[in-house]
Structure formats: C-alpha cells, structure tokens
Amino acid sequence: MFAVSIEQSQATEILARLRPWPCRFWLTDHRGLLLIHARTRRTAKSVSELDHGAGCNALVGVVELVDCITSTHPGDDPDEVEFQWLLANPRTFVQPIPYPGRFGLFLVSERVVAAALLQVGMSRRPQEG
C-alpha cells in the first residue's frame, strides 16, 4: 500500500477531518487507501518538543484518496497549476507505527500494512494496490 510522508501537524489535521476535503499535493494517478506518515518538522536549528512525540516518524493513520483535481485561478500564469487531492474517511491508528518516511508516494510492506489496518478495524482487500 502507498503512504505519503508529511509534517506531523498537517498529518494530525488531515486525520481530524470529518468530511471529504482537498489538500495541496502533486499530480497522481493513485486512488484508494493511502497511509499517512507523520514526519518531524524541518527547522533551521531545532525541532519543537511536540514533534518529538509518539506520532513522529511513524505511520499514524489511513485515508482514502478519492480524486486528484487540477486547480487554476483566473489571471494566474497558465504554467502555474495546482493539484489538490480529495481525501476522505480518515482513520487514526491507536498506536503510531514507527516507519521511515520518504519523498513522494512510497510503498509500505504488506506485513506493516496488515498490522496498521487491524488497528482501525479494516482488512486488506486483494484488489487494493
């Protein structure tokens, strides 16, 4: 299953939403379940104590990536296109699962995925990629 690594504060915000909502990311063809990996905030010299908490550098939840929408604003440069992912059905894991993050979408091992989905009462369906 794919995961995306984002700052811990944004990961928490994504998993707290109750209705589908758009988030700015990049163009992707992926649709379906998507693990949320919380990474620490990158600052010049220090990282806040909040970012050192249990929910950092770990898989913290799962959402459904419903669509990827191209967004432009009237009068903007036509080369400046924004992509928004429509995310829905967030589920937060009871216990964050320590896991190394990566740039872009990255694959998480099936063993880790199975354990993560059990935390939110889901099972891995064979047709999901």
- CATH code of 50's domain: 2.30.130.30
What pLDDT is attached to residue 107? 93
Q: Are 40 and 57 in contact (CB under 8 A)?
A: yes
Position 126 in a domain: no
Q: How many structural domains is the chain composed of?
A: 1
The pTM of the full predicted model, rounded to 2 decimals, is 0.77
Position 22 in a domain: yes
Position 88 in a domain: yes
What pLDDT is attached to residue 43? 56
What pLDDT is attached to residue 82? 78
What pLDDT is attached to residue 98? 93
Position 128 in a domain: no
Position 124 in a domain: no
Position 129 in a domain: no
* Range of the structural domain that residue 51 is part of: 2-119
If DSSP codes are grouped into helix, strand and coil, which group holds residue 8? helix
Q: What is the mean pLDDT of each run of 10 residues along the chain (129 residues)?
A: 91 84 82 92 49 71 90 65 86 92 90 87 58
What pLDDT is attached to residue 48? 46
Position 127 in a domain: no
Position 75 in a domain: yes
